[in-house]
Amino acid sequence: MAVRFGDTIQVHYTGTLKDGSVFDSSREAEPIQFTVGDGSILPAFDKEVRGMEVGDTKTFQIPAEDAYGVYNETFVKTVPRSIVPEGVVLEEGMPVLVGETEEDAIQFFVKEMTEDSVVLDGNHPLAGEDLTFAIEVMAIVKQSPSVL
C-alpha cells in the first residue's frame, strides 16, 4: 500500500550536505513519525514520501530555497555585549531568544563573540544549504480514510 496524504508514517532518514557531511539522522534512534500533509515536516520532504511503500528507499535533494531558505545577511546583527544580562554565558552556535517577552521573541544563533560585541544570526543553521536525504519508509502507522 502506497503512502498518501493523511497517512501517519514512520521514516528513517539520513540528511547530508553537498560535502557529504551528515547534518542529521534517525538511524541511531527511532524513526521519525509524522502525518503526511500536516505541515510538520519540510514540504519537499513530505512530497517525496507520497507513493512510496513500506520498505521502499529513496535518495533525493532539496534545494536551499525549498528547505530552510537562502542565507540572508540582513538577518545577521551585531549587538553590544553590554546588553547581555549578567550571568548569561554565551557560546558560539548556541540558540538565544531575543525580544521583550517570550511571545515576541525571535530565535537567533550566536555566530561570533568579541569582548565588546556579539554577532547574532537569525538564519536557520541550514539556510543556504542544498540538502540530500536518504530515506526508508518503515511503517504506515495509520492510514487516512479513502477519498472517493
Count of alpha carbons within 13 angstroms of residue 139, beta-carbon side: 8
Going by C-alpha positions, the residue among 35, 107, 11 that lies closest to residue 68 is 107
Task: For residue 65, give the DSSP letter.
Answer: G
CATH architecture type of domain 73-121: Beta Barrel (2.40)
- Provide CATH 3.10.50.40 ranges for the chain: 8-64+129-142
| Tens digit of each residue's pLDDT (9 = 90 or more) over 26-57 | 999 999 999 999 999 999 999 999 999 999 99
- Provide CATH 2.40.10.330 ranges for the chain: 73-121
| Tens digit of each residue's pLDDT (9 = 90 or more) over 67-107 | 999 999 999 999 999 988 888 899 999 999 888 888 888 99
Q: Could you tell me which CATH number the domain at 8-64+129-142 has?
A: 3.10.50.40
The model carries a pTM of 0.84
User: What mean pLDDT is predicted for residues 50-66?
Assistant: 98
